[in-house]
Structure 1
Amino acid sequence: MTSVVFMGTPDFSVPILRMIHEEGYEILAVVTQPDRPVGRKKVLTPPPVKAEALHLGLPVIQPEKLRNSEELQEILALNPDIVITAAFGQILPKALLEAPRYGCINVHASLLPKYRGGAPIHQAIIDGEEKTGVTIMYMAEKLDAGDIITQREIAIEGEDNTGTMFEKLSAVGRELLKDTLPLIIEGKNDRIPQDEERVTFAHNISREQERINWSNSARKVFNHVRGLTPWPTAYTTFQGENVKLWSVVEGETSTNETPGQVVKINQDSFEIATGDGKTIVVLELQPAGKKRMTAQDYLRGTGSKLAIGDQFE
């Protein structure tokens, strides 16, 4: 029986871990990030992968940093045949990369060499890509730079956001890994070096990137909002306070008004001018200090406050 150390953290990784368990591989340990405070009350919360591992009765290791740690020595001592990572969140040290006989492999949510880094799904949607996929790759000391083993492509539909694509790509990753692992174990897999001239990066989303630039085209604003939904969420400011936008569509109204200006108020939505003379229709939003709500509820609650000519920054 092939022995595995699995490393992952968010919901994306959970179906992949579950598949490895269901296929009968011997999971020696599950390595994930430490529990973190979550929400306004800062409740200490385990990562989704830890919760799944405990449900499956698997031992869990949670290093703050893997390099030069006691936890690294603990993992090396397990002597796994293969290490499998999926959105773990740390680069593996050389000692671990060289230890397993079948190597260390990663389930990465892009068609490498495009979108190396921690936010490939967000960035693909923000950039308006029409397709993405999953790459199973050998891990290297350089970020997401290892040889490609297998890839599988899927479409990004117009109604998709980061949340829906996380679910779709997690399912793709699960099935692709299921098909790829036997090839690796039998020594029948491909090993294709990445084309360094085609490399692009998708670094973790910064707070500055979350802010909407109304001077962009309506299509760019639309992609920006859905690329950051449901997390970390795109925002704008109105009357000095932040407003998160949860759901928008491109409008059919033409306008010469200043980007960010409210140009139309409908019964269940309102429209904001963008940089290409088109509008963004706001369907769902979250004013500062309030819950997520429909634009219709927002307009009912603020009625006299929001008017044509008001400016979002």
Structure 2
Amino acid sequence: MRLAFLGTPDFAVASLKRLVEAGFEVACVYSQPPAPRGRGHELKPSPVHAYAESQGIPVRTPASMRDPAEIAAFQALDLEAAVVVAFGQILPREVLEAPRLGAFNLHGSLLPRWRGAAPIQRAVMAGDPVTGVQVMRMSEGLDEGPIIATETLRIGPLDTAQTVHDRMAEAGAELLVRTLPLIARGEATETPQAAEGVTYAKKIRPREARIEWVRPGREVDARIRGLSPYPGAWFELPTDKGPVRVKVLLSTFEDAEGVPGEVLDERLLVACGEGAVRLLKVQREGRGAQDAEVFLRGQAVAPGTKLS
């Protein structure tokens, strides 16, 4: 099967790698243009771009797939199918219809729940016990096409957006490799999405990362894990030298009570509006991530401390 692959972040690399390993003919890879990365803000290719180049696959990085020249170049590839995994651009109808079999998207949720940009983070933040990854035929609407294949994944009490991301990337890659041959043979079943239960996974906004201890503890815990590792939920810790920002990268809910934001014991149990949250992994501003017990060796946080 002759394919074009359109993807950008780490999540998409697993799918591209499996397609190459499985012997699919990847005629061209499309990815977002190189962007400033790291401390030096040097222009660097996306993870998908870098992997494709390492495999000798031609790469295009258009600023917009709506550019008539890009549409013509895509149509000239003579494709059987296009595979889209977290590409980062809306594709016009001319691109979706260019491959003979169509364009297919790997999406990280159980649609129609969590259509949009941040489905993994939103599912963890919402406390969903189950999520999944699906292959769907693409339409011009946002994640509205019919579903072809599904793999479900559980979200455990200690899962973060990162751990779910990593499992989902591997599961999605395998799902693609199993599903594309069915599409090629005309054996795939396409099921329209339900009209009920539609939710949207909006991009994460910076103001969402500040922890609000007045909220219920289960909600605080889910938000912490859903924002880990990026952008990282945070609070301000009072110190002799002034407040210090601390990110929380892992937590768990506990049944305890106190004034919201008050530290309840010597192991970073913090009271919330209902219940409490135990902080398990933190990162002080300007330093690396640490387990709570290691952090506390260098920064005592006494019971009764009030966190902003």
Instruction: Give the TM-score of the pair, scaled to structure 2.
Output: 0.93
Alignment partner of 2:249 out of 226, 246, 249 = 246
Deviation track 1:42-97 (CA, whole Å, cap 9, x = no partner) reads 23322111111111110011122222253333222212111100111111111101
Q: Which moved more, 1:66-75 or 1:153-162?
A: 66-75
Q: Distance in 2 between matches of 1:298 and 1:20?
A: 42
Instruction: State the match for 2:304 in structure 1.
Output: 309
Instruction: State the match for 1:215 in structure 2.
Output: 214
Alignment partner of 2:291 out of 288, 291, 294 = 294
Alignment partner of 2:268 out of 236, 248, 270 = 270
Q: Cα offset for 1:103?
A: 0.4
Q: Cα offset for 1:214?
A: 1.0
Deviation track 1:220-239 (CA, whole Å, cap 9, x = no partner) reads 11111111112221112234
Q: Distance in 1 between matches of 2:66 and 2:23?
A: 30
Q: Is the 8 A contact 1:61 1:71 kept in 2?
A: no
Q: Distance in 1 between matches of 2:133 and 2:252?
A: 27
* Runs of 4+ with >6 A deviation: none
Q: Distance in 2 between matches of 1:24 and 1:286?
A: 43
Q: Is the 8 A contact 1:162 1:228 kept in 2?
A: yes
Q: Distance in 1 between matches of 2:8 and 2:106?
A: 12
Q: Are residues 243 and 101 of structure 1, via their aligned partners in 2, closer, same or farther at CA, if it must alter by over 3 Å?
A: same
Match of 1:16, SS?
helix
Instruction: State the match for 2:13 in structure 1.
Output: 14
Q: Is the 8 A contact 2:160 2:250 kept in 1?
A: no
Q: Which moved more, 1:66-75 or 1:280-289?
A: 66-75
**One-letter code aligned to 1:47:** S
Match of 2:105, SS?
strand
Q: Is the 8 A contact 1:63 1:69 kept in 2?
A: no
Q: Is the 8 A contact 2:161 2:228 kept in 1?
A: yes
Instruction: State the match for 1:100 in structure 2.
Output: 99
Deviation track 1:196-221 (CA, whole Å, cap 9, x = no partner) reads 22211111211122222211222211
Written as runs of structure 1 = structure 2, the 5 A alignment for 1:41-56 is 41-56=40-55
Q: Distance in 2 between matches of 1:188 and 1:298?
A: 55
Q: Is the 8 A contact 2:144 2:193 kept in 1?
A: yes
Written as runs of structure 1 = structure 2, the 5 A alignment for 1:170-209 is 170-209=169-208
Q: Cα offset for 1:115?
A: 0.8
**One-letter code aligned to 1:86:** V
Structural RMSD (CA): 1.7
Q: Are residues 51 and 309 of structure 1, via their aligned partners in 2, closer, same or farther at CA, if it must alter by over 3 Å?
A: same
Match of 1:198, SS?
coil
Q: Which moved more, 1:165-174 or 1:38-47?
A: 38-47
Q: Distance in 1 between matches of 2:265 and 2:71?
A: 58
Match of 2:116, SS?
coil
Match of 1:78, SS?
coil
**One-letter code aligned to 1:132:** T
Number of residue pairs matched?
Answer: 304
Q: Is the 8 A contact 2:158 2:251 kept in 1?
A: no
Q: Distance in 2 between matches of 1:134 and 1:293?
A: 31
**One-letter code aligned to 1:235:** W
Q: Are residues 69 and 37 of structure 1, via their aligned partners in 2, closer, same or farther at CA, if it must alter by over 3 Å?
A: farther
Q: Distance in 1 between matches of 2:53 and 2:286?
A: 35
Q: Is the 8 A contact 1:132 1:156 kept in 2?
A: yes
Instruction: Give the TM-score of the pair, scaled to structure 1.
Output: 0.91
Q: Distance in 2 between matches of 1:279 and 1:16?
A: 39
Q: Cα offset for 1:241?
A: 4.0
Match of 1:263, SS?
coil
Deviation track 1:181-200 (CA, whole Å, cap 9, x = no partner) reads 11111112112111122211
**Gap runs ≥5 in structure 1:** none
Identity of aligned residues (%): 38
Instruction: State the match for 1:62 in structure 2.
Output: 61
Q: Are residues 297 and 153 of structure 1, via their aligned partners in 2, closer, same or farther at CA, if it must alter by over 3 Å?
A: closer
